[in-house]
Amino acid sequence: MDSDRGARTALIVGAGVAGLTAATALAREGWRGEIAEVGPPDATSGWGLCLTVPSLRALDELGLADACLAEGYGMSTITHVDVRGEPAGTVRLPRLLGARRPAMAGIARPVLHRVLYAEAERRGVVVRHGVTAAAVDQERELVRVRLSDGAVRRVALLVGADGIRSSTRRLLRLASSRAFHGQMVWRALVPRPRWATGIHQFAGATGTAGLVPVSDRQAYVFLTENGVGLGALPDAEFASRLRNLLGPFPGRVAEILPLISAPEAVVRRPVVTHFLEGAWNRGAAVVIGDAAHAPAPQMASGAALAVEDGLVLARELGRHDSVGAGLRAFVHRRRRRCRTLVETSVTIVALEQARRHHEAYPLVDSCHRLMAEPV
Ligand SMILES: Cc1cc2nc3c(=O)[nH]c(=O)nc-3n(C[C@H](O)[C@H](O)[C@H](O)COP(=O)(O)OP(=O)(O)OC[C@H]3O[C@@H](n4cnc5c(N)ncnc54)[C@H](O)[C@@H]3O)c2cc1C
């Protein structure tokens, strides 16, 4: 079916963190938005996310921080434990939302998506599942998009928010190269131990592991595995392999090991980064979130950058007369911050690979300081 839409209409490809928050931010500025999501509803995998201080601040601007705090687990401290299992200090994070609200939140990924979906739909955004953009052409000031089900949209703005393997980026011929860093990150959902009321980070001889609460009942364990290839591991072995990797870690990690049992609660993902050095947009089409810049997950900042992108995009489009000028201003405002995050995360990965992970801690702190600056 052919459909003409026109002024202040946006088609967003991808209903992840970037796509859903961009759709909400645009709707608040008076845009009519539609999302084309290739996956089925409720397809998000079950691991948890840390919504760091800037994530929560950006979500607050969309009116969503309180829902995330209510559905997730608010916290304000990171407790470091050294290689001998001794306490090595507690970092109290700045409470950017005011003294009465916690600095950050842990949240299960499907729960975060439910919160973001509900708000986008409440703002009139239509989410269509099982479709993607198949072809894109600029037609004067509009973008003509042919969807994979044959439908055609003519919109003032196309947003590619379809993740690190973005096919929108390919359709727009925006050059990108992804890098795999010989690491796997592990996440496992476990019952929350009563002592885990903030993030706990355990320094091991060869790497770092930790625990992040995501609700009163649940927490996730994280660990980075060095020196691995891209080869797959049978799902059934996930839990035992993660227990083996955590085995040499000190302190209360021993209490966590028996909690890791269900293979379906464990995820293992390659550490892949990328940054779009060249253009992020072509005409009135732009890529945001992981499609434009993906730091290594150790920084726990990809979602923060994704939410900030949506906010800044909507703001800059509101400030400029043409979509082209708004997109140029958006990219100008986002490029430096996102590049610094991605590049620093790559340096941290290299330090971890060289077993110099302790030297990475100040870099993580410097990035948290950068991210605490206003967007
Ligand atoms: C293991 C792991 C742990 C992480 N932990 C944290 C953390 O604690 N804190 C944090 O801030 N960040 C974390 N990150 C990073 C964070 O997950 C990402 O930066 C964030 O999800 C990016 O959001 P996005 O919407 O750009 O991309 P995605 O979340 O990847 O969403 C992309 C969406 O687009 C859809 N899609 C893909 N292709 C198409 C297509 N062709 N057409 C239509 N739809 C499509 C996908 O189905 C998906 O819904 C972690 C990443 C990993 C891998």
What confidence tier does 282 reach under pLDDT thresholds 50, 70, 90?
very high
Ligand 1, residue 267: give the atom nearest the CA. 1
| Residue 10: per-residue pLDDT | 98
pLDDT at 181 over 70: yes
pLDDT in tens, 313-345: 999 999 999 999 999 999 999 999 999 999 999
If you average pLDDT over every residue of the chain, what do you get? 92
Cα of 91 vs centre of ligand 1, distance in Å, is: 28
Cα of 100 vs centre of ligand 1, distance in Å, is: 30
The pick from 290, 299, 349 for probing ligand 1's pocket by mutation, whose C-beta has the most ligand atoms within 8 angstroms, reads: 290
What confidence tier does 6 reach under pLDDT thresholds 50, 70, 90?
low
Nearest to 14 by CA among 290, 294, 312: 290
| Residue 172: per-residue pLDDT | 97
Distance CA 303, CA 285 (A): 21
Cα of 56 vs centre of ligand 1, distance in Å, is: 17
Which range (47-56, 180-189, 226-235, 354-363) has the least confidence?
354-363
| Domain boundaries of the chain, sorted by first residue | 2-72+106-178+272-372, 181-271
Q: Which fold has domain 2-72+106-178+272-372?
A: FAD/NAD(P)-binding domain (3.50.50)
The pick from 162, 275, 313, 342 for probing ligand 1's pocket by mutation, whose C-beta has the most ligand atoms within 8 angstroms, reads: 162
Cα of 87 vs centre of ligand 1, distance in Å, is: 33
The pTM of the full predicted model, rounded to 2 decimals, is: 0.95
Ligand 1, residue 162: give the atom nearest the CA. 34
pLDDT in tens, 87-137: 888 888 888 899 999 999 999 999 999 999 999 999 999 999 999 999 999
Which range (21-30, 37-46, 144-153) has the least confidence?
37-46
Is the distance from CB of 138 to CB of 156 less than 8 angstroms? no
| Residue 235: per-residue pLDDT | 86
Is the distance from CB of 47 to CB of 219 less than 8 angstroms? no
State the residue for tokens 């005409």.
283
Element (H or E) spanning 187, and its range?
strand 179-191
| Residue closest by Cα to atom 20 of ligand 1 | 303
The pick from 12, 13, 17 for probing ligand 1's pocket by mutation, whose C-beta has the most ligand atoms within 8 angstroms, reads: 17
Cα of 64 vs centre of ligand 1, distance in Å, is: 18
Cα of 303 vs centre of ligand 1, distance in Å, is: 8
pLDDT at 2 over 70: no
| pLDDT above 90 as % of the chain | 75
| Residue 46: per-residue pLDDT | 66
- Can you say whether residue 370 is alpha, beta or left, with left for phi > 0 and alpha for psi between -120 and 50 degrees? alpha
Please state the three-class secondary structure of 189-203 as a single string: EEECCCCCCCEEEEE
Cα of 291 vs centre of ligand 1, distance in Å, is: 9
| Residue closest by Cα to atom 27 of ligand 1 | 163
Ligand 1, residue 212: give the atom nearest the CA. 8
Protein residues with CB under 6 Å of any ligand 1 atom: 13-19, 36-39, 49-50, 55, 132, 161-163, 167, 185, 187, 269, 289-291, 297, 300-304, 306
pLDDT in tens, 204-246: 887 789 999 999 999 999 999 998 888 888 888 999 999 999 9
Nearest to 97 by CA among 69, 128, 132, 73: 69
Q: Which CATH class is domain 181-271?
A: alpha beta
The length of the chain in residues reads: 375
Is the distance from CB of 47 to CB of 365 less than 8 angstroms? no
The pick from 35, 37, 146 for probing ligand 1's pocket by mutation, whose C-beta has the most ligand atoms within 8 angstroms, reads: 37
| pLDDT above 70 as % of the chain | 98
pLDDT in tens, 355-368: 887 788 788 778 87
Cα of 1 vs centre of ligand 1, distance in Å, is: 30
Distance CA 13, CA 69 (A): 27
